[in-house]
Amino acid sequence: MISMGLLFAGVLFVLGVAGLLARRNLLMILVSIEIMLNAAGVAFIAAGALWNQADGQVMFLFILATAAAEVAVGLALVLQVNHLHHTVDADAVRQMKD
């Protein structure tokens, strides 16, 4: 059961990695990062259930806070990119100065 939990977290994380590598839409890149953070949280919960410790759940709460802060800043950046380049294509922002 616990190894199933870790396996589940691993599959979710790998799917997030695949999406992150394959997609070029900035919104989908952020979605993939969310999937990966969620998978890391599931891994913490599975590990906490294995050792019968609440620490894993505390770590999940911290991951939740990090994900919320990350998505707020990331989406603001997406809005800014869309404002400047009129697209959400990640290739549009490959130059530092324009």
Rule CB under 8 A: which residues touch another protein?
A: 1-8, 10-12, 14-25, 27-28, 30-32, 34-35, 38, 41-42, 45-46, 48-58, 60-62, 64-73, 75-80, 82-83, 87-89
d(CA 12, CA 27): 18
Q: CB of 15: closest distance to another protein in angstroms?
A: 5
Pairwise CA distance, residues 86 & 53, whole Å? 49
Pair 24, 90: CB distance under 8 Å = yes
In the bound complex, what is the minimum distance in angstroms from residue 93's beta carbon to another protein? 14
Min dist. Cβ of residue 97 to another protein (A): 18
Token couple for 11? 């599959």
